[in-house]
Amino acid sequence: MERIELSNHAFEGDNNAYLFDDGPETALVDTGDWLEGSEGQLRQELTDRGIEFSDIDRIFLTHWHGDHIGLASAIQAAGDATVYIHSADAPLVAGDEDAWAEMYDRQERYFDQWAIPKDKQEVLFELLDGEPYTENPPTVTPIEDGDTFTINGIELEAVHAPGHAAGLCMYEADIDGSSEVFTGDALLPQYTPNVGGADIRVDRPLAKYLDTLGDIAEADYDRAWPGHRDPIDDPTARAEHIMHHHEERSWRVLDALRRLGPSDVWTVSADLFGDLEHIHILHGPGESYAHLEHLGRDGLVEQEGNEYRLADGVEAELDALDEQRWPLV
């Protein structure tokens, strides 16, 4: 297995594609984004190894975001590769018009509920245009948690890991006696994957993501191969670090309500992240909403209309904490 590093022209953070070609079959985990620069990069990287797009037999996608699935269509068109994706994300990747219409409807409702200003919403709708997905979508094969595949003697097992995306799917593998996992954006080495905004279809996004992090920590993998940047040599420690990060962020959300009083999602987001541009217009309020929703289910925050306020007694609990971290798990 080889890691192919690709620049990312659509979002932030260089992408990884993972190549399996040590045997009669050739496969990729993720493909990078769909833009011309990335396609040229991937073609050259493969050519340097004596491989063309038409030689790829199978593609295992981690989730539906364009910087991971972008070249699946071009590769499949060149050689009829089988494209696998979790069933929760399959309709979006396949360009299903009803699935995309539902996505747009959800976006409109959530952006209004989060009180995102109209001029900022216009920026988002332009960024989130689904045309790159629906113009020439691949034919996909849906998979489920626990499905297994063998590539040149290496067994991959699909592990559903929702939170960042509804259908995010990791792939476990034993490689030369080492327990490895391809995590997509479920676990990243330098920044924390967005929850709440990255896929607004996810119900209870923070709770689901915390469960995913707990599962990664419990699995105690030897190494993780993320969707962006360098390998993670201690996935358990990284998962625990991100859980602690979300506890710190929950404290900051509660503290914002303590200082500001009843506030909508956009106001809490501005307190946490400041002025936002580009895709962060979505990620900031999305993450704020994920925390407010989670804290609300725990009875710590109450919602009236589009505004949230601290429940009775929470301010005293905040005052009693020894550190700026609210326990979540």
The 10s digit of each residue's pLDDT in 262-280 is 999 999 999 999 999 999 9
Task: Please indicate, yes or no, if residue 270 is contained in any of the structural domains.
Answer: yes
Residue 9 banded pLDDT, cuts 50, 70, 90: low
- Output the pLDDT for position 131: 62
Instruction: Give yes or no: residues 57 and 89 share one domain.
Output: yes
**Quick one: DSSP state of residue 171?**
E
Last residue within a domain, chosen from 220, 240, 260: 240
Task: Please indicate, yes or no, if residue 218 is contained in any of the structural domains.
Answer: yes
Is 86 strand, coil or helix?
A: strand
- CATH number of residue 273's parent domain: 1.10.10.10
Range of weakest confidence among 44-53, 100-109, 122-131, 220-229: 122-131
Cβ contact 71:59 at 8 Å: no
Instruction: Give yes or no: residues 80 and 153 share one domain.
Output: yes
Task: Please indicate, yes or no, if residue 35 is contained in any of the structural domains.
Answer: yes
Last residue within a domain, chosen from 225, 240, 255: 240
- Output the pLDDT for position 133: 72
Of 166 and 278, the structure prediction assigns the larger pLDDT to: 166
Instruction: Give yes or no: residues 236 and 248 share one domain.
Output: no
Percent above pLDDT 70 for the chain: 97
Residue 191 banded pLDDT, cuts 50, 70, 90: confident
Give 35-91 pLDDT, tens digit per residue.
Answer: 878 899 999 999 999 999 999 999 999 999 999 999 999 999 999 999 999 999 999
- Output the pLDDT for position 106: 95
Residue 180 clears pLDDT 90, i.e. is over it: yes
- Output the pLDDT for position 10: 56
Within the chain, residue ranges assigned H as helices are: 36-47, 66-69, 72-79, 90-93, 97-113, 118-127, 131-134, 205-219, 235-260, 265-273, 280-297, 314-320
Nearby residues of 246 by Cβ (< 8 Å), 6 or more positions away: 192, 206, 209, 210, 291, 328
Residue 12 clears pLDDT 80, i.e. is over it: no
The CA distance from 297 to 210, in Å, is: 15
- Output the pLDDT for position 127: 86
CB atoms within 10 A of CB 224: 25
Instruction: Give yes or no: residues 198 and 266 share one domain.
Output: no
Instruction: Give yes or no: residues 76 and 142 share one domain.
Output: yes
Task: Please indicate, yes or no, if residue 325 is contained in any of the structural domains.
Answer: no
Cβ contact 81:56 at 8 Å: yes
In what order do the strands lie in the sheet containing 82-86? 2-6, 15-20, 27-29, 58-60, 82-86, 140-143
Residue 188 clears pLDDT 90, i.e. is over it: yes
- Output the pLDDT for position 132: 64
Instruction: Give yes or no: residues 282 and 148 share one domain.
Output: no
The CA distance from 140 to 60, in Å, is: 10
Residue closest to 73 by CA, chosen among 64, 81, 62: 81
- CATH number of residue 230's parent domain: 3.60.15.10
Residue 189 clears pLDDT 90, i.e. is over it: yes
The CA distance from 130 to 125, in Å, is: 9
Instruction: Give yes or no: residues 234 and 249 share one domain.
Output: no
- Output the pLDDT for position 11: 60
Instruction: Give yes or no: residues 225 and 279 share one domain.
Output: no
Instruction: Give yes or no: residues 42 and 184 share one domain.
Output: yes
Task: Please indicate, yes or no, if residue 327 is contained in any of the structural domains.
Answer: no
**Quick one: DSSP state of residue 71?**
T
What Å distances lie between residue 282 and 54, 173, 309, CA to CA? 37, 34, 22
Average pLDDT of span 300-309: 97
Instruction: Give yes or no: residues 81 and 168 share one domain.
Output: yes
Phi and psi at residue 227, to the nearest 5°: -75, -20
Task: Tally the domains of the chain.
Answer: 3
Residue 197 clears pLDDT 90, i.e. is over it: yes
CA dihedral sign of residues 30, 35, 41, 43: positive
- Output the pLDDT for position 290: 98
Average pLDDT over the chain, rounded to an integer? 95
Residue 34 clears pLDDT 90, i.e. is over it: no
The CA distance from 53 to 43, in Å, is: 7
Instruction: Give yes or no: residues 259 and 176 share one domain.
Output: no
Range of the domain at 204: 2-94+135-240
Residue 115 banded pLDDT, cuts 50, 70, 90: very high
Instruction: Give yes or no: residues 72 and 210 share one domain.
Output: yes
Residue 291 banded pLDDT, cuts 50, 70, 90: very high
- Output the pLDDT for position 36: 79
